[in-house]
Amino acid sequence: MDSIRQTLSLHRMSTFDKAVSGSTADPLDLYNWNAQLASALIYPFHIFEVSVRNAVSDAIGSTHTTNWHKAVSFERSLKKSKHGYCPKDDLAKVARKHYQLSKAIPEFKFVFWEKMLTARYQKQIWDNHIYRVFPNHSMLGLSKYDLREHLRKRIESVREVRNRVAHHEQILKFDIPLLLANMEQVIQLRCTDTSNWMMANQQVLEIYRKKPIGN
């Protein structure tokens, strides 16, 4: 198995070596489990992201115009960021590339949708539309402000793991059942049928339970 460890790199394997230290578990088994779990997460990530971006797009479109990615009013509402991710730059890039909103939506980075749920857009977008685009909001009984923040925090937590999975990084430290429950809840706020369908078809929990070392 040394050849596999060399192929994956000893530096990468060191995390798994430490994780199984003091047990009889094989670090390669843990690596394999981590990779399979990451692969299984792609499915709920898919349903989650599509559900979130369509809900946010609906709210933005109701505030500005149907083709909101081309609306000057929306572009002007975005703050120019000097450091880190800039939604305004992302919008400009996508708007230049696509005329149709349906083509534009998948092109935005996932962080764009998270940024649209910050307090900056509370009055502009969410005071008028958050209860409509998340019609099952009564299950939490939160104010419009608190619901927006509740959603933003969960989207942020999902994005962190999603980015690690996309870059083939280990996800050993994360509470995966909680992560899945957060995705389920956000989708449920939008559509119960969709959240039930996603949970009935996900394989994350089945793989999670097969972890070759105690949680």
Average pLDDT over the chain, rounded to an integer: 95
User: Residues of 91-111 as b/e, b for ≥16 C-beta within 10 angstroms?
Assistant: beebbeebeebeebbeebebb
Q: Do residues 186 and 51 touch, judged by C-beta distance below 8 A? A: yes
Output the pLDDT for position 80.
Answer: 84
Can you give the pLDDT at residue 82?
77
* Rounded to 5°, angle at Cα 139 from 135 and 142: 85
Indicate if the pLDDT at residue 215 is higher than 90.
no
Average pLDDT over residues 72-89: 90
Q: What percent of the chain has pLDDT over 90?
A: 93
Does position 214 have pLDDT exceeding 80, yes or no? no
Q: What is the DSSP letter of 86?
A: -
Handedness of CA 32, 36, 39, 44 (dihedral sign): negative
Which residues, including other chains, have CB under 8 Å from residue 43's CB and lie 6 or more apart? 198, 201, 202, 203, 204
Q: E strands within 86-200?
A: none
For residue range 122-175, list pLDDT tens digits in order: 999 999 999 999 999 999 999 999 999 999 999 999 999 999 999 999 999 999
Say how far apart CA 212 and CA 32 lie, in whole Å. Answer: 10
pTM for the model stands at 0.93
| pLDDT value, residue 77 | 94
Alpha-carbon distance values, 148 to 62, 95, 176 (Å): 17, 26, 23
Q: pLDDT tens, 87-120?
A: 999 999 999 999 999 999 999 999 999 999 999 9
| Mean pLDDT, residues 187-213 taken together | 97
Where is pLDDT greater, at 23 or 137?
137
pLDDT band at 213 (very low <50, low <70, confident <90, very high): confident
Cα–Cα dist 52/109, whole Å: 12
Q: Closest Cα partner for 111 from 60, 72, 46, 160?
A: 160
In the predicted structure, residue 66 carries a pLDDT above the cut 90: no
Taking 80 as the threshold, does the pLDDT of residue 70 lie above it?
Answer: yes
- The residue extents of the domains of the chain are 26-208
Residues 6+ apart with CB under 8 A from 111: 85, 159
Closest CA to 147 of 185, 199, 192: 185
Q: Is the pLDDT of residue 83 over 90?
A: no
